[in-house]
Amino acid sequence: MDLQATSPKGSRPLTQPEPRADLADGGARPSEAAPAQAVTRAEETPELGDKREERRAGELTDGEKAVVQKLKARDREVRAHEQAHKAVGGEYAGAISYDYQRGPDGQNYAIGGSVPIDTSTEPTPEETIIKMQVVIRAALAPAEPSGPDRAIAAAAQAKLAQAQADLQVKKAEERTENAAKAGRAVGVYAAAEQDQSTTRVDVAA
């Protein structure tokens, strides 16, 4: 279950310059269920199981029932993990994608997944700081963040630190500019005062 880094939305393309990060659990875990069954990947859908292939619980062997229980537990874990990323990522997170495996009962179960998230910097340090804080929280939102999740959080933390440094430089430049403007204003006022004093004429009675 991973967050996938993506490039910014809008006119900027979703390509290489700013990679998209995938929040994921490091890949699907192999299951003992039906090794010949293919694992498929698809975006979140209400139900992917083929009802015609469902088998009644009474038709399953004890071993198959155990496999189904493991698949159900894994499905719940995967969905909770990805939905945590999605909920916290908000506008920066894309659609959830799942890796599915069909169980002995004919149902498809999620055994892995990912959520794309925009990790690109914004035009201003202030905007980048806000965005990276969201990305970090989204990456670490699940109860057990994966290795890729933690890597994305670390990369976002580095961008956050850089944006904070850029903001300090920006504020220092603004203070210097404001001080210079104030100095120029004082100089103009003093020059005006001097001009007024030299043009005064005393009229004696």
Cα separations in angstroms, 189 against 134, 142, 199: 48, 62, 16
Q: What is the pLDDT of residue 82?
A: 98
Q: What is the pLDDT of residue 177?
A: 87
Residue 84's H or E segment, with its range, is helix 62-89
Q: What is the pLDDT of residue 17?
A: 34
Q: What is the pLDDT of residue 183?
A: 75
Nearest Cα to Cα of residue 97 among 105, 89, 86, 106: 86
Write down the pTM of the prediction: 0.68
Residue 6's H or E segment, with its range, is strand 2-6
Blockwise average pLDDT, block size 10, the chain, 205 residues:
64 36 59 48 54 62 96 98 98 98 97 97 98 98 96 98 97 89 69 62 53
Q: What is the pLDDT of residue 182?
A: 79
Q: What is the pLDDT of residue 62?
A: 94
Q: What is the pLDDT of residue 39?
A: 58
Query: CA angle, corner 1, sides to 133 and 22, nearest 5?
Result: 55
Locate the domains of the chain by residue range.
Answer: 2-166
